[in-house]
Amino acid sequence: MKIKYFDDYDELSQHGSDLILAELKIKPDLLLCAATGGSPKGLYSNLQDTFADSPELFSRLKVIKLDEWVGLPLDDPGSCEHYLQQRLIEPLSISKQRYISFDPHAENLDNECEAVQIKLNENGPIDISILGLGQNGHIGFNEPADELNPHCHIEKLTDTSQQHGMVASVSSSPEYGLTLGMSDLLHSRKIILIISGEGKQQPKEFIMTGKISTHCPASFLWLHDNVQCLVLN
């Protein structure tokens, strides 16, 4: 893991977007795994700016959504779908054929996870995963536990995740999430882990020890040989 510290969020975001654009110029049809939340907002904004000048650069880009809340309407401002549509999918003109997304309202969620896994296997592995660090050390909805799931699955959310800022205004916080699994993420060709925001000091400190624990899923990124960890001081 290569760790780079930043005093300025805009500088961090610019560095992250530059990493993606460099890869996109080499492989125009790369598969990008997109996280939501506050950490990657600036990065996505930079990609929008580049699209305005060079839309052809994004004409073959494929995107897969990292996770989604179960039970939350897809057009709810707190949903991962709404977030990505507003900041990535629509601004970069990503067509339906180039977008892999969980449907949290599918009649059978196990079948939905299996369908996403099949699409990932057909289009993958992921070329670049953009990940944020959860306050409890999760990545995606891979929550701290004695065991971690390797592939797309339904996850029972911890109290910490249920209190996430994205669903702070929801009357009843979702208890479950759909997410890509740890093996799916660790098979990414490149991973960009962004550590910013409040309340993450404890998992951040653990990650910096270089130790690995299922109770801090993000620590498993030490097993990957191409992780860029961007940390806001």
Sheet containing 190-195: give its strands across.
2-6, 227-232, 190-195, 128-132, 31-34, 62-65, 99-100
Find the catalytic residue in 68, 112, 136, 142: 136
136 carries an active-site annotation? yes
**Of all helices (H) and strands (E), which one includes residue 32?**
strand 31-34
Find the catalytic residue in 81, 143, 155, 184: 143
Find the catalytic residue in 138, 149, 155, 184: 138
151 carries an active-site annotation? no
143 carries an active-site annotation? yes
121 carries an active-site annotation? no
Which DSSP category does 193 fall into? Answer: E
Find the catalytic residue in 46, 67, 112, 142: 67
- How does strand 176-179 pair with strand 153-156? antiparallel
Helix (H), strand (E) counts: the chain: 7, 10
Tokens for 176, please give them. 């479950």
What is the C-alpha separation between 152 and 65, in angstroms, rounded? Answer: 11
Q: Which residues are known catalytic residues? A: 67, 136, 138, 143
